[in-house]
Structure 1
């Protein structure tokens, strides 16, 4: 499955602008990187396989939008995406996650994407099969007697036919009720697959990797007889369970695996956060906690350069996966990474710290702005929350001030400020704030609830 989109770099940036404020250089570079992948797939000559992605290194403090840019880029491209933290990896030989696990995580995401598309394609046919299964439970079909029709006297020939016709008419009436949702709360008993209890511990010297272990578990569970168990569910719940089972019967999983591997290889995006945490500070590689940092970098190198990784779904080549690394680099510098790894992230983008004006825009403009999220939460209880312009400006000012006085955690500061501002209202709904009430947030209200905390130098509750 090839997810070739028609968006130009300008259109990609425009899509990112709907969710992320500022950081134009970063958006521009990731848009070019995404479009280059599409261009590579359109190249007809043999050089196509030699065109490698320009991996990106984002440099910026926490909360400025590094992760959000990468995640939204994956959504724009409808591409498999996984985020990992470099600090969680350890050098081969140490206890902890190995770097290849991020590629396996990407393949899992890819399989889920492909399966979702395949499920959508067979949705109608699966729904028809589920409808028949539910009708069979409600109105069992007329079973033929254990003798030949020729042995039945001629004058009774019409009786079985009448029974079948009556059964069919009843089924059609129930079918109509099913489709109208009239029977959704009725309980029925269905057979569902029992979850496999198979679990395999360490074998031999315990050196099996995750892919081998998963493959062995799949093989053993495949050899064991499939067990089912009876469950009593409402028809609406049973429909969901049966729909998943029927859809899986209509899908060729070997085809899913093949397409998922291809999708991950050509469209996959891996976001490696906190890469500065595995850089040796100021070029020093001493003992203690720093001992395996360079080792992790050297383990990362072949994955980023391009290598084959074994997964439970097959072997995946990482040559054309787009890697986006990010870090604050407050202590270490990008030049503290080993030269080979630096060379694999040729595009460097420095993200700017957010200003008070940026905070104000973040509260207003994105599709998923915090103000819109809280309004949706209140509307779920039929309470209407409103912010006037002055209140948003004041929230932005106070969040920016707290970042300056305590620790700059970027846009994440807005979450803690908004939470403190609105938690009392959220607690009172619906007990003391009734439905159809309207709450107006004003500058004075924001100052009353937050300004005393800003004056207090001990702002530990704001530090995430």
Structure 2
């Protein structure tokens, strides 16, 4: 049994504290540690979590082999089967975040073979590389943040007190190389520095130059299926025209953030960023291909139209999954060791409906189970960001105190299971529709109920949801 839990903790972390910049440490987690961390966000689905944990550990093992053997070991790609809302995407996303790996999710239905309107299959590798560059750039910017803040503070003081900066070493005051400073500049400058650090200058305004992109601002119309070529052409033209600077008046606190950003960009070595990002994408990138069952071709006894298009997408995916070189604006990226995780409900299809070559590139298959009332109850109670906590906090901003009784949460869980079973099974997402329906009256009247306390119990839930539970046709549209 499982659920899709985000940004919460179903159980406390059992891992020792790690340096967030230590990429090696985050990728050397044991399978047991990985599963333990995933248990904090996704309840159940033990088999799926064990499978992805082993896949990630195998990457760590591979990097410790002799290079001659290392390149021969291909990742074991995975197919996850199960209905929507049971945690397929969340497992992959949390795994990538845990291991600090570039992660990109794409729907297989966005791709088409040549001749049909859609996206180029290789575009997902370019998107993954873009994510990898931004990920590494953020890490490198964090390393120089202190230095960037110091520079930004000095530049901010220059804006507040023009000409107050002490002369550079080697320049003698009174000579042509060093303009005469104002009376006692250091003292005045340090006073302003103290006022700034105390937050007393935040609302003052200053003028500073900010970079704006020069050159033509018109949109480039790309050929359908070749949008990435249009994006690359746009980037190329942007590099041809130099950046312009525009004078802008802003508050001191906003100017400080802009200056930090500008100084960080100067301090970060983009060549190093691209090299690290490329290596990380190639060695630890994860591409999550959702709705892969939608491009299955049934019995594959020939066909035309949509059947031909779906099989064409599979054959376009094949070389990328097998391993090829994709040209991106950051250089050539090899896909040989990128981990591909495919997912789909597989209600009307099965993995064997994929073309045989693609089946062979996804040797691991795991089925995720449906959610039950017990799982829904855990979703409502265990995470720090459970829906009950979210709604209590939202209504609390109006001065309305809302308390959920335990029997009310169990009733909501039972309703979610019942509606999923009798209408359309959308997994944990059903809880959001039920909670919104349950609290719609309170949400509307909350501004007029400040200072009041409302306790939501089982009877309250039954009365609020009575109409949609009794009328199945109505529940199909509302819940």
Residue 182 (structure 1) shift:
0.8
Q: Does 1:88 align with 2:110?
A: yes
Instruction: Spell out the pairing of 1:141-220 with structure 2 (5 A cutoff).
Output: 141=163, 149=174, 163-198=181-216, 199=218, 201=220, 209=226, 212-220=229-237
Give distance in 1, aligned partners of 2:326 and 2:394.
44
Q: Give the match for residue 446 of structure 1.
A: 461
Cα distance in 1 for partners of 2:341, 2:164 equals: 62
Among candidates 222, 232, 239, match of residue 249 of structure 2: 232
Local SS of the residue matching 2:303: coil
Provide Cα deviations, 1:370-400, integer angstroms capped at 9, x if missing partner. Answer: 2233234334555443222101110000111
Aligned partners of 1:127, 1:346: CA distance in 2, in Å?
49
Partner of 1:372: 389
SS state of the match for residue 319, structure 1? coil
- 1:256 alignment partner in structure 2: 273
Corresponding position of 2:379: 362
Is the Cα–Cα contact under 8 Å of residues 279 and 294 in structure 1 kept in the other structure? Answer: yes
Please tell me whether residue 46 in structure 1 is matched to residue 68 in structure 2: yes
From 156, 160, 164, the equivalent of 1:134 is: 156
- The answer on whether the counterparts of 1:304 and 1:319 sit within 8 Å (CA) in structure 2 is yes
Higher mean displacement: 254-263 or 390-399: 254-263
TM-score (norm 2): 0.88
Match of 1:405 among 417, 422, 432: 422
Deviation at 1:120, TM superposition (A): 0.4
Measure, in 2, the Cα distance between the counterparts of 1:196 and 1:331: 52
Does the 8 Å CA contact 1:19/1:368 hold for their aligned counterparts?
no
In the alignment, structure 1 residue 457 sits paired with structure 2 residue 469: no
Matched with 2:360 is 343
- Is the alpha carbon distance of 1:382 and 1:320 closer, same or farther for their aligned partners in structure 2, counting shifts above 3 Å? farther
| Structure 1 residue 442 displacement after superposition | 0.8
| Counterpart position of 2:23 | 3
The aligned counterpart of 2:126 is 104
Aligned length: 448
Q: Secondary structure at the match of 2:287?
A: strand
State which of 50, 55, 63 in structure 1 corresponds to 2:77: 55
Closer/same/farther in 2, CA of residues 99 and 33 from structure 1, 3 Å limit: same
Q: Distance in 2 between matches of 1:420 and 1:207?
A: 41
Alignment-derived partner of residue 70 in structure 1: 92
Q: Secondary structure at the match of 1:63?
A: coil
Matched, 1:414 2:434: no
Deviations 1:106-135 (A, max 9, x none): 111111110110110111111111111111
Between the aligned partners of 2:157 and 2:190, the Cα distance in structure 1 is 9
Identify if the C-alpha distance between structure 1 residues 170 and 401 changes in structure 2 by more than 3 Å, giving closer, same or farther. Answer: same
> Does 2:448 align with 1:432?
yes
User: Pairwise mapping of residues 249-398 of structure 1 onto structure 2 (< 5 A)?
Assistant: 249-381=266-398, 383-398=400-415
- Using the alignment, how far apart are the partners of 1:306 and 1:441 within structure 2? 55
Q: CA deviation at 1:142?
A: 5.2
Kept after mapping to 1: 8 A contact 2:158/2:164:
no
Equivalents in 2 of 1:386, 1:268: separation in Å?
A: 43
> Aligned pair in 2 of structure 1 residues 367, 129: CA closer, same or farther (>3 Å)?
same
Contact 2:157 2:189 in 1 (8 A): yes
Distance in 2, Cα, partners of 1:379 & 1:76: 33
User: Contact 1:55/1:347 (CA < 8 Å) preserved in 2?
Assistant: yes
| Superposed CA offset, 1:404-452 (max 9, x none) | 12111111111100111122223333x21225x5432211111111122
* Structure 1: runs of 5 or more not aligned: 152-159
Residue 135 (structure 2) aligns with: 113
Match for residue 156 of structure 1?
A: none
Runs of at least 5 residues in structure 2 that lack an aligned partner in the other structure:
1-20, 168-172
Backbone CA RMSD of aligned residues:
2.4
On the 8 A contact 1:2/1:263 being kept in 2, the answer is no
Return 387-396 or 2-11, whichever deviates more: 2-11
Once residues 378 and 76 of structure 1 are traced to their aligned partners in structure 2, the CA distance between those partners, rounded to angstroms, is: 33
Deviation at 1:354, TM superposition (A): 1.0
TM-score by length of 1: 0.90
